[in-house]
Amino acid sequence: VTLDKYVFFEEGAGPESSGVVILRSRGSEQFEESTVRQLGHVLVPGETYRLGAWIKTKDFQSTHYGVIVRDTNWRNVERGINELPENTNGWQYFEKDINLAESPDGKYGVTIFAINFSGELHVALPKLQAISPKALAESIVSPELRKSERFRLVPWRPRLNHIPSSRPELSLRNFGMGKTEICRQHDCIINLDARQIQNKPLQVEENMVDLSGVSLGDHEMEVIVRRRHDKELVFTQIFPITIREIPAIDTGGYKRLNNLVIELLNEELNGTEQSLHFDNPREGWIYMTLQNCANSENLNVELAELGTVIDADSKRLEAFRHLGMGRHVIRLKGVRPACKIIVRAISETFNYPACQDSPVPQHGKYDWDFFEKHVFPAVTTLNKGDIPEDKLPEFKARGLRWLANRGTLNPVSAEDLMARFDRSPGLKLEKYDGITCDEQFFLRNDLIYYTEAMWKYEVPKDRLIYTWVNGKPLVPGLHHEFLSACVNVSRGRGRLLFEAYNHAKASEAEAQRYLNSKVLGSMERFSQYFPDATAYTGIILGNFNLISNLTLNTDPEVDPKYYLDMQMNLLANNPAFKDLATVGYWGSSYNDEELFRWSMQLL
């Protein structure tokens, strides 16, 4: 679905109590485009098909619309129902026989769409039938679509490897075709470490797993859904789980500065050796800085579990560190009276790529020296690029992270993806901390393979898998499970990196509407599809402006610095982004230097 604020689904509102897809504008206002797509069917060019649907229109006008069959990239094929009355005065059945042209990849999709439309278009019970003998013999419904409809139990909350010992339970959400009927006949069985601990009738919405008495640490949980009368299996899957002690957190001294920053400690020092403490509200990044301490001799700031974090040689007397949830002790030596220490819990800050020059020589070099001056003060995590080998010890000493990038487009199976992971330097070489998977699209049916790979793949200890994703979740079950798998990978430290690359708009009001739809609307949809989604999601903005090659600056009247500030302001202040896991930029090597430096200043 695109521009989904104008696309609706009403269950049971169509003929035969069917569901209805509705494209609905607001008043007389017209909108650019709204589409609903189902892709991945194998059809036969030149053969005959019959496309039909029940349709209802109300004051409907559009410059281009239809219920159609088209090729994957919408280049050569568009056949279907594209002539409708402005008002049908109720439901009418429309059908049309069509012949298809060649599709570049041999696959086709069914699409309901309207461009520059007003009024309403309702579509129910769309049906595509193969008519000619060859079409009947060789057409194949998308196998990924069939998989997306299967019954599934999705780990919901908490994360599988973060189950608190104080409340040892786990919820599994029920999705799939005919789930109400399945629940009447089936049981949900839980085995823990090969021993049955629970056997209950399957619940329609949510199934709770009671883990009372389970010891701290790692366990293997097998979930089985079995028909009661003949023991036939409907679903079975094994999940690794961890029972943890979650530390108590004292939030009394916290000061929230915005969605992305909580001040944990702000204290003037007395000039003697001191020990202080702060409580980190979550596993994540902290920023620490000393003020009024320049030229202090023998300066040393230690975190009890990490050793020295800041000393007299530290640039800007500041540091980033990734810390566990709970209390941390700071030991200070060599500080002057009136020095001040500040500690803040922050969202992960991200930049792609590391130490990579622009293709335009006149932009200057984005090398280690540039990063040391402009990027390292702003960024905790780098992606792809190339950090010089002789600088790696210094980079690691800063406590920062570097993720390699792994191509994941067009998988043919989960095993295909897992083989790609096995070949990835990011999961093998010591210099990396993990990988980003590039990239996943909610509109593509092969997302099912990526989800399966996330559940099956054994990620090396302490390595991270982050998932680049484009679009918004929209398919119940399939996309709920995708989000759960991406969050639970890497022992619950997975991240979704949403590609929020925002093109310039002609006015500030239009830009705000666009950002509200694309960025805010996407975050709201993620939160509908997975609990506490902001805590596991990164909003990665685009800052690339390489003219004639790769640029978001498509309107010369728009100040790109103002527009980027506007985007960061939305993330920092709109309540939908509270405690956002990650924020940053993709495409910095495609910047001129001024916009690159400006992006880092915003971080």
pLDDT (tens digit, 9 = 90+) per residue, 290-327? 998 877 778 999 999 999 999 988 889 999 999 999 99
Q: Which pLDDT score is estimated for 27? A: 65
> Which residue, among 220, 18, 3, 218, has the nearest Cα to 113 in the 3D structure?
3
Least confident residue range of 169-183, 186-200, 293-307, 511-525: 169-183
Please give the torsion angle defined by the CA atoms of residues 365, 367, 369 and 375, in that order, rounded to the nearest 10 degrees.
100
Least confident residue range of 62-76, 118-132, 488-502, 585-599: 62-76
Residue whose token pair is 């003929």: 15
Cα separation, 527 vs 236, whole angstroms: 27
Structural element, H or E, at residue 108: strand 107-130
DSSP state for residue 415 in the 8-state scheme: H
% of the chain with per-residue pLDDT over 90? 78
Q: How far is CA 460 from CA 38, 219, 321, 404, 435, in A?
A: 36, 17, 22, 14, 11
Q: Which pLDDT score is estimated for 179? A: 67
Give SS3 for 446. coil
Cα separation, 229 vs 361, whole angstroms: 72
Cβ–Cβ under 8 Å, residues 540 and 491? no
What's the burial of 360, exposed, middle or buried (CB within 10 Å: 0-12/13-18/19+)? middle
Question: Given pLDDT bands bounded at 50, 70 and 90, which one contains residue 143?
Answer: confident
Give just the sign of the alpha carbon dihedral 261, 265, 269, 272: negative
Tokens matching residue 442: 């909610």
| Cβ-proximal residues to 394 (8 Å cutoff; 6+ apart), any chain | none
Q: Which pLDDT score is estimated for 361? A: 87
> Which residue, among 483, 493, 486, has the nearest Cα to 433 in the 3D structure?
493
Cβ–Cβ under 8 Å, residues 14 and 54? yes
Q: Which pLDDT score is estimated for 3? A: 46
Cα separation, 63 vs 80, whole angstroms: 16
- Say if residue 346's pLDDT is above 90: yes
For 510, half-sphere exposure in the C-beta direction (CA atoms, 13 angstrom radius) is 9
Instruction: State which amino acid sits at residue 202.
Output: L
Average pLDDT over residues 350-355: 98
Question: Given pLDDT bands bounded at 50, 70 and 90, which one contains residue 217?
Answer: very high
> Which residue, among 592, 477, 600, has the nearest Cα to 541 in the 3D structure?
600
Cβ–Cβ under 8 Å, residues 526 and 577? no
Average pLDDT over residues 120-133: 94
pTM here is 0.85
Question: Given pLDDT bands bounded at 50, 70 and 90, which one contains residue 178?
Answer: low
Q: Which pLDDT score is estimated for 106? A: 86
Cβ–Cβ under 8 Å, residues 347 and 260? yes
| Cβ-proximal residues to 118 (8 Å cutoff; 6+ apart), any chain | 25, 28, 29, 30, 59, 60, 61, 62
Mean of per-residue pLDDT scores for the chain: 92
Tokens matching residue 401: 């992270």
Cα separation, 415 vs 437, whole angstroms: 15
Cβ–Cβ under 8 Å, residues 483 and 451? no
Question: Could you tell me what percentage of the chain is helix, strand and coil, using 3-state DSSP and rounding each to the nearest 5?
Answer: 25, 40, 35
Tokens matching residue 400: 């920062």
Better-scored residue on pLDDT, 205 or 409: 409
Strands, sheet with 169-175, edge to edge from the N-terminal-most edge strand:
152-157, 169-175, 206-210
| Cβ-proximal residues to 229 (8 Å cutoff; 6+ apart), any chain | 185
Cα separation, 318 vs 290, whole angstroms: 6
